[in-house]
Amino acid sequence: MHKKLLIPGPTEVGQEILSEQTRPMIGHREKEFAEFYGGITSKLAKFFELQPDCKPTVTTSSGTLWFDIIGRSIVKQKALVCVNGAFSQRCAQTIASCGKTADVLDVEWGKAVKPEVIAAKLDGGNYDTLTVCHNETSTGVRSPIAEIGKMMRKEYPEVIFAVDAVSSMAGDRTLPSEFGCDIVFGSTQKCFALPPGLAVALVKDRAIERAKQVPNRGAYTDLVDIFEFEKKHQTPFTPNISLLYALDRRMDLLLQETYAKVYQRHLDMANYTQKWAKQHFAMFPEAGAESITVSCIHNTLGKNVKELNQKLAEKGYMISGGYGKLAEKTFRIGHMGEWNLAGIEEVIGLIDQIWGL
């Protein structure tokens, strides 16, 4: 039996979207492709309410490519990387592996990254780039990016501010205009509810200008090249056209639903899940920093999540254990993408039955 996924990615993809991928191929240097791909980026610009100085692009890659792009094309010498979980840690490692200095601002797992601690570290540190993870999927923590962005624009306008919104973009609010950031990126297997294999990034012109000053940008990681091709509504290398068909359909559905309603739907699912979690367990994130796309629950009752998943599988569902060092201590329910409140209520009802809560 197919198990519907409530893990924090990949998430459930409906048949309508899966079917889009069976459409015939077109040449990626043909006019037909440019019209099609230009349509997708226009829909992205509309959905994310982009100002003229901020441009969308789609890479055939998972989200991690954007750690490499930042390391190769954005950081001149020294980045401050805020680390409050496993994915932001990977960001720091990736930037360092590109031969740049990646100073880590360590924040306790479960806590959000706050503007004051960033400011204290940036002061006199000669940083050219800052990275923050909006939605740390490993801990279910959502950091106050808009507040950080406001501080950055006011106090450190010369620092390029890049945001990992891999597990929140197209679910939570991630508008670049609200975030005050220069780059924000997400992966399609999360809130976009598509198969894995594409990443969406929204990039300010000033980040592209920065990239022009950075040597040795590589090939796949060359941000300047990516946006040179965007001018022709093309990608520098052969894209996954089948997934682009699926993304095109997804953008139609998201636009139909509207940005505000997509956000509200995710908020409703998070509120329901977290109210239930607090009744029986505790939330792992500090109060006020709970993600609205993935609930990371402190397993205070020491329940066996593997056994739960075996029983849920018989009903056609799957949730997630904790990530990395939090494997035993927490479990996670992903409520993103195509899920709605009724679906979450049903699955939580089943968990109640199985665990006798």
Ligand X SMILES: Cc1ncc(COP(=O)(O)O)c(C=O)c1O
Residue choice 41, 129, 143, 167 for contact with ligand X (CB under 6 A): 167
Residue 23's Cβ-count burial label (10 Å; 0-12, 13-18, 19+) is middle
CB 333 within 8 A of CB 295: yes
Supply 213's token pair: 């000053």
Residue 137 CB, shortest distance to ligand X, in Å, is 3
Residue 147 and residue 107 in contact, taking contact as beta carbons nearer than 8 Å:
no
Pick the binder of ligand X from 9, 10, 176, 180 (CB under 6 A): 9
Touching ligand X, residues 27-66 (CB under 6 A): 62-64
Sign of CA dihedral 322, 323, 324, 330: negative
Region of 120-128, 131-139, 238-246, 307-315 interacting with ligand X (CB under 6 A)? 131-139
Considering only residues 272 through 301, tell me which ones interact with ligand X, judged by CB under 6 A.
none
Cβ at position 347, least distance to ligand X in Å:
21
Location of structure tokens 């509200």: 264
Per CB under 6 A, the segment of 26-34, 133-141, 225-233, 271-279 that binds ligand X is 133-141
Q: List all residues 6 or more positions away from 315 whose beta carbon is below 8 Å from its beta carbon.
A: 350
Stretch that binds ligand X, among 38-46, 70-78, 162-170, 347-355 (CB under 6 A): 162-170
Q: What is the nearest approach in angstroms of ligand X to the Cβ of residue 7? A: 10
Q: Which stretch binds ligand X (CB under 6 A): 31-39, 110-118, 129-137, 309-317?
A: 129-137
d(CA 94, CA 100): 9
CB of 188 to ligand X, least distance (A): 8
Enter the DSSP assignment of 169: B
Rank residues 75 and 156 by Cβ distance to ligand X and give the closer one.
75
**Nearest approach, Cβ of 198 to ligand X (angstroms)?**
9
- Residue 292's nearest CA partner among 185, 214, 191 is 191
**Interaction between residue 137 and ligand X (CB under 6 A):** yes
Stretch that binds ligand X, among 132-140, 169-177, 263-271, 309-317 (CB under 6 A): 132-140
- Burial group, residue 28, by CB count within 10 angstroms (0-12, 13-18, 19+): middle
Q: For residue 188, give the nearest of 302, 70, 63 by alpha carbon.
A: 63
- Return the SS3 of 66: helix
Choosing from 187, 235, 293, 330, the residue that interacts with ligand X (CB under 6 A) is 187
What span, in angstroms and rounded, lies between the C-alpha atoms of 162 and 81? 10
State whether the Cα torsion 215-216-222-225 is positive or negative: positive
CB of 338 to ligand X, least distance (A): 18
Considering the complex, state which of residue 9 and residue 239 has its C-beta at the smaller distance from ligand X.
Answer: 9
- Report the residue number, 163 or 344, with the smaller CB distance to ligand X: 163
Q: Name the residues that contact ligand X, by CB under 6 A.
A: 9, 62-64, 87, 133, 135-137, 164, 166-167, 187
